[in-house]
């Protein structure tokens, strides 16, 4: 079975770990957000691809929630002393190894898809990581005091700088990567990970060609809610939803994605048990739905969440 997942970083990685455990024989492709990517201190940083790669490789820092385990920060301290880079955006030494290797590959002419395959090839990930596009489409945030990169808004201001809107810089000229396109077209099931609906899934869907490919795919499309009981489990997804005028609520997010039968994204939507009261509203929107425990913890519940999403997919073939 070919399973294609649309995913951001940490929420996407937690779900991907569960999926790999739930479907060990499946051919899993992860179409990842690249809107968070940036050039910093001369190297190309891809936060979501790296969160996915480190988590699937089992070398991520599970306590801090990002970066490599057993990390040191000697190079970052030197960069800070030179006043290069962002002092509030730490690049760990092991992590910098990834960015240097990626940058070297890109400078040798590799596409981001090729560079990602080379980096991923070091480990047994059990899934193929595919940047949604090989083009650069940084997410910019329009704030009261100017336009800043998403990572500056997220990490430096902790999403407190008042945001008016998000802009996918360069998206109109970007193209979905051939590998991501094929993964969507050839999938038996398409899953939307419980990732940030705006700056992870929204930015994937904003790449020209992605929505059309999903609409035309023969696979059912099933999403997992990133909101439980009206709040994001971790992170500031609710703030991003507020910026685009969507309630931080499982039903509202599904309505925002839309029913596939009515030109939207979803055939089905898995919500948390806490949100079971929204099932009728979801069905009225034309979206099949089920309510299950949705807290993602490695080694148990995450695999069950993936199994539940797959079960919903298989009972919800395209009309």
Residues forming the site for ligand GDP (CB under 6 A): 7-12, 14, 48, 51, 194-196, 200, 225-228, 232-235, 237, 294-296
The single-letter DSSP state of residue 155 is: I
Quick one: what does residue 295 bind among Ca ion, ligand GDP, none, with the CB cut-off 5 to 8 Å set by partner type?
ligand GDP
The verdict on 255 binding Ca ion (CB under 5 A) reads no
**Between 11 and 317, CB nearer to ligand GDP:** 11
Show the binding pattern over residues 160-199: x = contacts Ca ion (CB under 5 A), - = does not: ----------------------------------------
Nearest distance from residue 53's CB to ligand GDP, in Å? Answer: 13
The verdict on 151 binding Ca ion (CB under 5 A) reads no
Q: How far is CA 254 from the centre of its chain?
A: 16
**Between 18 and 220, CB nearer to ligand GDP:** 18
Tokens for 114, please give them.
Answer: 């090729």
**Between 85 and 235, CB nearer to ligand GDP:** 235
**Between 99 and 260, CB nearer to Ca ion:** 99
β-bridge partners, 232: 227
Tokens for 190, please give them.
Answer: 């398409």
Nearest distance from residue 319's CB to ligand GDP, in Å? Answer: 26
* Orientation angle between helical segments 178-185 and 112-120, nearest 10 degrees: 70
If one counts every other C-beta atom within 10 angstroms of the C-beta of residue 238, the result is: 18
Quick one: what does residue 76 bind among Ca ion, ligand GDP, none, with the CB cut-off 5 to 8 Å set by partner type?
none
Nearest distance from residue 7's CB to ligand GDP, in Å? Answer: 6
Nearest distance from residue 21's CB to ligand GDP, in Å? Answer: 15
Phi-psi region of 128 (alpha: psi -120 to 50; beta: other; left: phi over 0): beta
Quick one: what does residue 213 bind among ligand GDP, Ca ion, none, with the CB cut-off 5 to 8 Å set by partner type?
none
**Between 13 and 176, CB nearer to Ca ion:** 13
Handedness of CA 75, 80, 85, 90 (dihedral sign): positive
Quick one: what does residue 278 bind among Ca ion, ligand GDP, none, with the CB cut-off 5 to 8 Å set by partner type?
none
Q: Is 46 helix (H, G, I), strand (E, B) or coil?
A: coil
The verdict on 48 binding Ca ion (CB under 5 A) reads yes
Show the binding pattern over residues 2-41: x = contacts Ca ion (CB under 5 A), - = does not: ------xx--------------------------x-----
CA gap 145, 218 in Å, rounded: 45
CA gap 32, 140 in Å, rounded: 18
Helix intervals (H) in 217-272:
237-243, 250-257
CA gap 26, 38 in Å, rounded: 32
157, 239, 137, 132: which is closest to 196 by C-alpha?
239
Give the footprint of Ca ion on this chain (CB under 5 A): 8-9, 36, 48
């Amino acid at each position: 079975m070919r399973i294609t997942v649309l995913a951001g970083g940490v929420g996407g990685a937690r779900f991907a770990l569960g999926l790999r455990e739930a479907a060990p024989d499946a051919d899993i492709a992860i179409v990842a957000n690249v809107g968070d990517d940036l050039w910093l201190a001369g190297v190309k940083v891809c936060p979501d691809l790296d969160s996915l790669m480190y988590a699937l490789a089992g070398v991520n820092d599970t306590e801090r929630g990002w970066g490599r385990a057993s990390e040191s920060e000697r190079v970052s301290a030197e960069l800070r002393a030179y006043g290069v880079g962002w002092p509030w955006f730490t690049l760990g030494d092991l992590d910098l190894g990834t960015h240097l290797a990626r940058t070297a590959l890109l400078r040798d002419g590799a596409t981001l898809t090729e560079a990602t395959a080379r980096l991923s090839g070091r480990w047994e990930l059990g899934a193929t990581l595919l940047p949604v596009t090989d083009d650069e489409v940084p997410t910019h945030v329009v704030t009261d005091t100017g336009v800043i990169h998403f990572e500056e808004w997220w990490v430096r201001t902790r999403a407190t700088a008042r945001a008016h809107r998000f802009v996918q810089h360069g998206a109109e000229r970007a193209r979905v990567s051939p590998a991501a396109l094929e993964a969507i077209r050839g999938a038996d099931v398409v899953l939307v990970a419980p990732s940030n609906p705006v700056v992870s899934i929204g930015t994937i869907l904003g790449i020209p060609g992605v929505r059309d490919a999903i609409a035309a795919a023969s696979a059912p499309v099933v999403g997992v809610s990133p909101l439980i009981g009206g709040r994001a489990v971790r992170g500031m997804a609710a703030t991003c939803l507020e910026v685009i005028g969507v309630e931080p609520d499982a039903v509202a997010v599904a309505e925002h994605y839309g029913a596939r039968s009515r030109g939207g994204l979803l055939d089905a939507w898995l919500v948390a048990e806490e949100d079971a009261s929204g099932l009728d509203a979801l069905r009225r929107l034309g979206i099949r739905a089920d309510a299950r425990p949705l807290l993602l913890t490695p080694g148990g519940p995450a695999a069950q969440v993936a199994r539940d999403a797959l079960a919903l997919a298989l009972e919800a073939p395209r009309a």
